[in-house]
Structure 1
């Protein structure tokens, strides 16, 4: 039997010792993750935060007076919770005022309608617009209409949003909201209405951002409630001519300064490296912004606070970012990426909570392919909270979705959004839609994620190249 060289034997013992030490550290962090889940389950902090935001601030449209109140609220609240560093960074945002929104069917059967202006829409001429409706199943169908065929008419995109746990139906229909006005104007329409991008049957209209295009005449844009869209269809079964009156008082008011509000739990041995958990502070003005995105603000803030209260610091800094102006174009997210360009190489991973307060059921990643399986193993503790492993194609959430292209790993902590689009962007987005137990489960998973990532020894870069479009 041959004897191993002494140097080789020593190297083997060293590797074994390091492996055992790493496993011991992982086990310790796993135990902390379990304790964080227990803390979150027993804490009412997240619910208190979202209640405070929705009651004391309420709707907070980017650039509005209440947006300023929200920034002040966030700064004061984060400081009161004891975060070591709380600061804000300026973000230039568009200012848009909703004004009045009225509509009614004029013929063949006069009926009132429930509508809302789409974000960014211009107003109708004084006295409104009365015109015949031209119905289309989808944005693509509208784009396929003959040139000039909508002259003097109001385009109507009647695309229904399917209900899915992951919100996939929203992605299929939201383009009609964002791009419909341009497509309709190019065909000669004087205005556009869309079936609300929502899964409810309530007589409430869903707002949301739309876009104009240079060189295309802007036209007024509004959403009708799903029952009112059904009513238009019922009338079109009886006649091919339905006319309605539309009046919007929307107004664009230039630009203002808002802020990304940031708080940190300082790291120890790797303090210059960052685990980012975010949400957006702004909301639409129809409801009180409870699920979109007051819940997210509460989830990431409470998760970081539970880590802050641990006896030991995380190795990396945990950074909470409450983004400005997500609803009107991810402006806070884009501004953050540009302002922090020099330190993005030090961003270990990022994730954003912006899909209500339904329970997290899966974690998707966007990390180096060779690190994916090990990242899944690190989050083993979350299985006890009903969370399974997912794919390696995550976007991370709206305000961090631009980071992977800049090399930053992200994760998507998938929430059950089965009923999210019943309330999203409506007056029904209020505190009563939040289940405190489900909210606490979100906090537990985010706290575990932030803690395990802040102490991870995995190399999460480089990300896999994005597939080229064919």
Structure 2
């Protein structure tokens, strides 16, 4: 354990943090907090959005306040053409989330409903638990075998620098509830899609295809999932009670916020930078994704130093990403004008370690210049294909745009993702500044590229 002594109005107090967490920069040392840069654009946006607006659930009144806040902030920073572009969504309004083991031991579980979960009666539901160690095990269960039962789906998500486990193990959340429902389950509980060992459940959206009636679907914290797995391994029957009263609601208001920094040559298609304004409601959405909006906006402004670039830089603070990428889809439908290249920041605020490209051979010199500029910062060139991210993918696919991805270290991202721990104190100002510096280097190159920027075939 590492210890820090700080002074407050009541005297001295000791603060203990795990040394490993300090090394990973999940928790910010108190000294770093004391050195937060005053007037720093990225930090001001991040702190303002999380502290003045707070959680920003898609379709909620809080998300509406966030759009008003974002419009005012971008205008104050000197962006032009700042606009709120409204659309409506099918949203999820959280209710009461409770779950408890009834047998073989009584134990109150740390649970959260998944977005688009079915709704229990106010008195909840109770049933025998059928344990599945993997999603594939659930898929192999006979049709109708879960009638009147509550399914529990386990998995084994592990840490990785690139966060690649989120794709396959995230399918437990995205697909598992619908599969359990199709096999007759009255409810479903999953192990949280995360890598922490705290009693913090991880929320997130799930989907029920046409023809499959939604059932109540929740996620329990990893320690609680460990308990369930141990009981299942001992062969004792389990019984579980669950109350999830949230409701799926149509025609909720949402919207995007956009703003431009005009370039010297308005005939050149702009560079599009994406992030998302909404967040889940358990924390304040600091790493997911207020940090992303802070990073792209500060870098766009930094790229103006020394004179305006050739190309316009547009920021897209997208709405309602968390429930299905609605903001990115709405932007692509609304903006048919040509774009040159798209980038997105939506993976927290840990240090950028790798750059990937989706650029054709004609734009290889551009990619080479970017890689060379980032190399002194310790950012390596990867061999993967850049995809941008949920908020810019629709316009990338529609217009066949070039893409640059700046990959952040995701080793500890899924400790915090979609949990009550997604709060401002988890962001290291030095790491945030490194992100802004990397983005600034890239923007100074791509926004001053006079020729076509070509995507890979």
> Is TM more than 0.5 here?
yes
Kept after mapping to 2: 8 A contact 1:288/1:430: yes
Distance in 2, Cα, partners of 1:156 & 1:281: 32
Distance in 1, Cα, partners of 2:454 & 2:334: 22
Distance in 2, Cα, partners of 1:271 & 1:120: 44
Aligned residue in 2 for 1:366: 358
Q: Shift in Å at residue 354 of structure 1?
A: 0.1
Aligned residue in 1 for 2:200: 204
Q: What CA RMSD, in Å, does the superposition of the two structures yield over aligned residues?
A: 1.7
Distance in 1, Cα, partners of 2:370 & 2:295: 21
Q: Shift in Å at residue 458 of structure 1?
A: 4.8
Matched, 1:431 2:424: yes
Q: Shift in Å at residue 256 of structure 1?
A: 2.1
Single out whichever of 277-286 and 121-130 deviates more from structure 2.
121-130
Normalising by structure 2, report the TM-score. Answer: 0.89
Q: Shift in Å at residue 45 of structure 1?
A: 1.8
Distance in 2, Cα, partners of 1:257 & 1:111: 39
Q: Shift in Å at residue 448 of structure 1?
A: 1.7
**Cα distance change of structure 1 residues 392 and 460 upon mapping to structure 2, 3 Å threshold:** farther
Q: How does 1:139-288 map to 2 (within 5 A)?
A: 139-288=135-284
Distance in 1, Cα, partners of 2:39 & 2:353: 21
Kept after mapping to 2: 8 A contact 1:162/1:170: no
Distance in 2, Cα, partners of 1:455 & 1:391: 25
Structure 1: gaps of 5 or more residues:
1-39, 465-470
Q: Shift in Å at residue 461 of structure 1?
A: 2.2
Q: Secondary structure at the match of 2:178?
A: helix
Aligned residue in 2 for 1:357: 349
Distance in 1, Cα, partners of 2:140 & 2:39: 54
Q: Shift in Å at residue 311 of structure 1?
A: 3.8
Higher helix share: 1
Q: Shift in Å at residue 167 of structure 1?
A: 0.5
Kept after mapping to 1: 8 A contact 2:371/2:380: no
Render the CA deviation track for 1:256-305: whole Å, top value 9, x for unaligned.
Answer: 22221011110112454110111000000000000000100110111112
Q: Secondary structure at the match of 2:269?
A: strand
Q: Shift in Å at residue 125 of structure 1?
A: 2.2
Normalising by structure 1, report the TM-score. Answer: 0.86
Aligned residue in 2 for 1:20: none
Structure 2: gaps of 5 or more residues:
1-35
Query: Of 347, 360, 375, which aligns to 2:367?
Result: 375
Q: How many residues align?
A: 421
Render the CA deviation track for 1:385-423: whole Å, top value 9, x for unaligned.
Answer: 221212251111221123343211111110011110000
Distance in 1, Cα, partners of 2:254 & 2:412: 31
Aligned residue in 1 for 2:403: 410
**Cα distance change of structure 1 residues 201 and 392 upon mapping to structure 2, 3 Å threshold:** closer
Kept after mapping to 2: 8 A contact 1:160/1:195: no
Single out whichever of 219-228 and 263-272 deviates more from structure 2.
263-272
- The structure with the largest alpha-carbon Rg is 1
Kept after mapping to 2: 8 A contact 1:107/1:242: yes
**Cα distance change of structure 1 residues 330 and 258 upon mapping to structure 2, 3 Å threshold:** same
Q: Secondary structure at the match of 1:261?
A: strand
Render the CA deviation track for 1:342-366: whole Å, top value 9, x for unaligned.
Answer: x1xx211100000000111111111
Single out whichever of 255-264 and 205-214 deviates more from structure 2.
255-264
Distance in 1, Cα, partners of 2:417 & 2:95: 20
Matched, 1:129 2:125: yes
Distance in 2, Cα, partners of 1:340 & 1:286: 33
Q: Shift in Å at residue 211 of structure 1?
A: 0.6
Distance in 2, Cα, partners of 1:449 & 1:280: 20
Q: Secondary structure at the match of 1:168?
A: coil
